[in-house]
Amino acid sequence: MTTLHLSKERRTVAGIISSVETLEGEGILVRRPFPKSTFSDFDPFLLLDELGPVEVAPGQAKGAPNHPHRGFETVTYLLKGRLEHKDSLGHTGTLNPGDVQWMTAGSGIVHSEMPEREFARTGGRLHALQLWVNLPQRSKLIPPRYQEISAERIPTVQSDDGLVTVKIIAGSAFGVSAAIETQTPIMYLHLILQPGATVVQPVPRDYNAFAYVLEGEGAFGADSERGEDGKMVLFAQDGEEVAIANSSAEVPLEVLLIGGVPLNEPVVRYGPFVMNTEAEIETAFADYRNGRMGTINV
């Protein structure tokens, strides 16, 4: 067994959530465990989308052109492919495999996420995750901010036996902390467990936490509940650590372990706007419609 830190009680599993398929942007097919009709959000998280993995034919790549955001953060984690992004503040850039973009929309921004030109021309394998993180009421209208972390800058650590690899996007593991600063306490880990490996990760009792299985099959929590590709595993708040085991004897288990402190504040959503009241949503929509969030220069 690989233990990241000795803690006290291990959490049980509160539920297993299946993803649904939905179309986003120009028609991007994504798998989404939440939000959906049976599971709206998981405070402080608002959405999790998995794009792919999919083989994109030459000239067939799709993206999410100009769209506004206000009141939350988007975390884009690119595993395969290349994406270009630009916004109404004049920010442009390219995400390559392994890169993370943590965008704080705050007071409002118009954003575009499209396939990088050469990737769109040639096609290839595309796989990405996008997580929406709610902002606390005090920070809803802070200035927009980007934290763009290249794959080389994301701390990656291994267990002593080499059976567990952890990419630390936010929070900490093995005593190593992420490069990203978050508005509220957030943990975001990409774990790769070789066959037969088990990992025990500290998760403070006041965190909501879940695992999302990218590939493989595992046993989760003190009760060893089974989770597989495309499933979201909710952990109960009944302990201070979570256990994840690779139950396969042949293939690795890849899983995201995500947690954060609940905001316990009202959430009012209208498309890409997330505020605390209906009046604030109306203001956000009016600001966007009247051009106060700016436009993207072609």
pLDDT by residue for the chain (298 residues), tens only, comes to 444 444 479 999 999 999 998 877 777 788 999 998 888 889 999 999 999 899 999 999 888 899 999 999 999 999 999 999 999 999 999 999 999 999 999 999 999 999 999 999 999 999 999 999 999 999 999 999 999 999 999 999 999 999 999 999 999 998 999 999 999 999 999 999 999 999 999 999 999 999 999 999 999 999 999 999 999 999 999 999 999 999 888 999 999 999 999 999 999 999 899 999 999 999 999 999 999 999 998 6
Amino acid (one-letter) located at 59: G
CA dihedral in degrees (68, 61, 102, 155; nearest 10)?
Answer: 180
Residues 291, 47, 145: CA angle, nearest 5 degrees:
50
Q: Which of 56, 57, 34, 37 minimizes the C-alpha distance to 47?
A: 34
**Pairing outcome for strands 198-202 and 2-3:** parallel
HSE, side-chain direction, 13 A CA sphere, residue 165: 10
| Residues forming beta bridges with residue 244, ordered by sequence position | 199, 220
Q: Is residue 232 packed enough to be buried (19+ CB in 10 Å), middle (13-18) or exposed (0-12)?
A: buried
82/76 Cα distance (integer angstroms):
12
- Calculate the alpha carbon distances from 255 to 146, 166, 215 in Å: 25, 10, 7
Provide the whole-model pTM: 0.94
